[in-house]
Structure 1
Amino acid sequence: MVICDAESACKACHGSPESATTHEDCFLLFKQRYEAEDMFQRMLQRLWILVAWRIPWRRGPISAIDEENISIPDISAIGGYAFPMLRRLPPEIVQLIREYSPDSLLWRFGLALGLFQQLSTPASGDLVSMPLSDCLLWERDSLLAPTSCSASCSSPKPQFIRLTIDSFGIKRIERLLELSPYNPKRSERFLFVTIKESETKDVVVHFKFGTLRLEFPDASPGGFQIWDTETCPPPLGRCIFFWRQSIETAQFQTIDIRKITGITFFMAWNRVCQIHAHTAATPTAIQTWKQIPPMRRAVLTWIYLPISLNDDIIAFGPTIAARIRSMLTRFTLLFRLRLAGDVIVGPYQPNQHGPNGNAFFALTNQPVSTLVYGWPEPQNKYISTIGAVLNETPKPYQDDSLPSPQLKKPNLGFPYYSFASLWNVIRVIVYDNPDTGFCRGILLHYNNGAERALGQCRIGVDPAKIYDMPTYVCFIPQRYTRPNRPGQIKTAIVRCTNQDDHKHDEEGWVCTPMCHDLDFWFTQGQVDIWVD
């Protein structure tokens, strides 16, 4: 067997049979549970349906919902096997223990026992199929087959259909008489599809073992548009998308700008692998980082866009060249914030800068209330599209030049670029690599409430040094060699002080008063700081 990890759509995978993976020890536990051959084969078929149909349709999106939000391990079952005192603990304490030991085999054991309990629930093994357009109502918890409109509708049926999806697949199908107005409030537990019946031509519903899945005709796009908002999707007239590939079948995640403190973009090979919105409930991006395949984590660059509570995004967009190409390869975005000014997210691209070092961007003409992005698709593992919901109908793009300092040729290969003024800075937070002690990023707080980030600010992950009311930002360039890798890495140590007559033990320190600008070039493992 070959596990395909193609970076784009793979023709061989497209036509191959579906498959699912399981831990070897979990499968051995399953075999022990159902030792008799006839029972094993029957339960194996049911296990396959339960696992494969978690994806709501073939080649459909993998759910963006964390399973931990849907179910917790069967604590009673675990206690009955090995930890009887565990059953006496309050659920909140058990959850805290789980958060401190998320990779423990204990929790996987509990999930396996919970799955066995699902398999033991009586449910019909007969396959029931019908057109989605004929389906009136279905609820997974009822274990009953979908109700057909032809069998129960004496009056005209509602023309809107809503699917509710959780980490176990399609949870509910219902009919709506009318669509409720768009509300940006997102759900942490469910995803939603809201469509007209006329959009379901030749789409078939299959029901078996208490679960349900859709089948699309070969000639169709092969899916529906999915949103994380329970109300109807935002009117397309108020949406603007950059790189519009496959938005008809995209799984959209939304970020309400008014409820976040910042956004972390996970970049690999100049493309966005994942996005994390920092909120009071999710202050760090570590859980989002864990959703990225382990092999890709090793090459990730974290780019943090702080958005203070007093600030907002008044415009954003990609480089004009990227918009013309309509591709998410080597893209660079500009976010224009009311207080913080212009912030670049993405790689430095010399062919997209003018002779004076300024980059040209195609920006929205209106403030952004909600950011929208397409959840990474299984076949390419990158963000499929990015856009915004505007307060009004979008106006034509405005082509604008970034008033950044004149960019010199960087001394790093394929770097990312950030810059900030040190004027009116009242707090500096320096984030260091815990393994080397070298600087990864700098977060600046200004007296007007704005914030700017330089380099990689891994909030809540890397150790941070806080300096209030500094008068100097001091740094010393460094080089070091990584184990088992050729060449030297360029980096720096960064410290701050409010003492005008301070001294350093080593030569080579650059002490910068708070009346200059800093250019901060960086890659996944390197840093190069310049003073303007």
Structure 2
Amino acid sequence: MPIQRFNVVELSEIRGITFYLNTTVVLAVHIHCAGQESTLWTDKAVTEGKRPDSAFADPIRVYLPLPKSDRITYLGANGSGDRLNVIYVRMEKAGDITIGQRQPGCLEDKFLAAQNSISLIYCEPNRAEALSFFGAYQASPATFDVASRPIFPHPGATQMGQYTYYSWASLDGVSSVVIFYEDDFDFCRGLMLYYENGGRRTVGDCRVQMDRQATVDRPTRICFRTKVPESLMGENGIGTVCKLRVEFEHHNGHEGDEFWHCLPFRGIIRFWSALGLPWVSVEQ
């Protein structure tokens, strides 16, 4: 049996967490202690082996920003058997965030911590096996009525099939946006939104300090288009998949182009990722 190493970290002392998802399972976490340091070491540990039941060639990386201007007020989780499927986070300013996908037949959600100083306990990755332990500790637990815990919606992944990572964020009150690009610096993998109130959220697959990035300040419009790769025309067993381009314009730079969708920068952005290929919609 391989040796497993456990780590404990105070959430108020770190600046973010990258969660690795494969199919509907959380594989690993990477702690960003200062700034947004690279996840290369954890990437290697996770991708050296590959689960035989994995639907993804490469895990989806979900980045949870933890700026000093915001804090976690609730932390919960759910899983099936010995697998962690979904993590629930309520941020004081950024709001409710769901990481992963709740599976049918699971028991009720588990309350991990709330309000006061929270220490995260987790197991280091081990050859792409599922994350074997994820928990929290509070020296002085807050008085919390479990019956009144937050209710997180379970929208599923109907846009692109069961094995899809879904994320969403508000476009209201955004001061700037960071775009995470694929290697060709053309197609978008994910977005990180900075809010005027000090909160931050991400949508999509954000590989911090690995992907090329571009920052747009004070966007007034969001323009996006999709492109279906020639090798993936038609059904691929999971659903319709597309390459995604996203641009943020201060004017309508794509007027008259039927392949682009340009909208005022407001409302809700919804982002689905599967097989490294995204789909996006904006609701206003």
- What is the TM-score of this pair, normalised by structure 1? 0.46
Moved more, 451-460 or 381-390: 381-390
2:121 corresponds to: 372
Alignment size in residue pairs:
270
Task: Give the structure 2 partner of residue 339 of structure 1.
Answer: 93
Deviations 1:418-455 (A, max 9, x none): 11000010101111111473110000000011100000
> Which of 172, 175, 178 is the aligned partner of 1:426?
175
Q: State the 1:403 CA deviation.
A: 5.8
Residue number in structure 2 paired with 1:291 = 45
Structure 1 residue 364, shift from structure 2 partner:
4.2
CA distance in 2, matches of 1:494, 1:352: 37
Please state whether the residue corresponding to 1:290 is helix, strand or coil: helix
Alpha-carbon distance, 1:255 to partner: 2.5
Show structure 2 runs of 5+ residues with no match: 51-55
Q: What per-residue deviation string (whole Å, max 9, x for no partner) do you get for residues 31-82 of structure 1?
A: xxxxxxxxxxxxxxxxxxxxxxxxxxxx4515xxxxxxxxxxxxxxxxxxxx
Q: Which moved more, 1:337-346 or 1:297-306?
A: 297-306
Structure with more helix by fraction: 1
Query: Does the Cα contact within 8 Å between 2:15 and 2:35 map onto a contact in 1?
Result: no
- The residue correspondences of 1:75-474 to structure 2 (distance < 5 A) are 251-280=5-34, 283-296=37-50, 298-319=57-78, 322=79, 325-328=80-83, 331-347=85-101, 349=103, 351=104, 361-364=109-112, 366-367=114-115, 369-376=118-125, 381-393=129-141, 397-398=146-147, 399-402=149-152, 409-435=158-184, 437-474=186-223
Distance 1:514 1:318 in 2: 32
- For residue 431 of structure 1, give the secondary structure of its aligned residue in structure 2: strand
Q: Which structure has the larger Rg over C-alpha atoms?
A: 1
Amino acid at match of 1:526: L
Greater fraction strand:
2
Contact 1:361 1:402 in 2 (8 A): no
The aligned residue for residue 53 of structure 2 is none
Partner-residue secondary structure (3-state), 2:41: helix
SS at match of 2:114: coil
Q: Distance in 1 between matches of 2:95 and 2:129?
A: 31
1-side partners of 2:170 and 2:264: how far apart?
11
Cα contact 1:412–1:522 (8 A) shared by 2: no
Structure with higher RCO (Cα < 8 A, 6+ apart): 2
Query: 1:261 is aligned with what amino acid?
Result: R
Q: Which amino acid aligns with 1:302?
A: R
Shift of 1:295: 4.5
AA aligned to 1:337 is M
For residues 198-243 of structure 1, the C-alpha deviation after alignment (integer angstroms, 9 at most, x for no partner) is xxxxxxxxxxxxxxxxxxxxxxxxxxxxxxxxxxxxxxxxxxxxxx
Task: Give the Cα–Cα distance (whole angstroms) in 1 for the partners of residues 135 and 187 of structure 2.
Answer: 35
Q: Is the 8 A contact 2:181 2:189 kept in 1?
A: yes
Deviation at 1:396, TM superposition (A): 6.0
Change in CA separation of 1:346 and 1:396 when aligned onto 2, cut-off 3 Å: same
Match of 2:269 in 1: 518
Map residues 496-511 of structure 1 onto 2, 5 A cutoff.
Answer: 496-499=248-251, 501-503=252-254, 506-511=257-262
Compute the RMSD of aligned alpha carbons. 3.0
Provide the rounded CA distance (Å) in 2 between the counterparts of 1:425 and 1:253.
Answer: 34
SS in structure 1 at match of 2:132: coil
> Within 2, Cα distance between the matches of 1:257 and 1:274?
17
- Alpha-carbon contact 2:10-2:120 (below 8 Å) kept: yes
Task: Write the distance in 2 (CA, Å) between the matches of 1:295 and 1:504.
Answer: 47
Q: Which amino acid aligns with 1:363?
A: F
Question: 2:159 and 2:216 mapped to 1: Cα distance?
Answer: 28
- Equivalent residue for 1:61? 3
**Rounded Cα–Cα distance in structure 1 between residues aligned with 2:26 and 2:172:** 31
C-alpha displacement of 1:497 = 1.4
Tell me what 1:215 maps to: none
CA distance in 2, matches of 1:381, 1:408: 23
In the TM superposition, residue 313 of structure 1 has moved relative to its aligned partner by 0.8
Residue pair 2:176, 2:217 contacting (<8 A) in 1 also: yes
SS of alignment partner, residue 255 of structure 1 = strand
The verdict on how the C-alpha distance between 1:341 and 1:278 changes in structure 2, with shifts beyond 3 A counting, is same
- Mark the CA change 1:372 to 1:481 in structure 2 (over 3 Å): closer, same or farther: farther
Could you tell me which amino acid in structure 2 is paired with residue 317 of structure 1?
Answer: G
Q: Separation in 1 of the partners of 2:113 and 2:241?
A: 41
Structure 1 residue runs of 5 or longer lacking an equivalent are 1-58, 63-250, 354-359
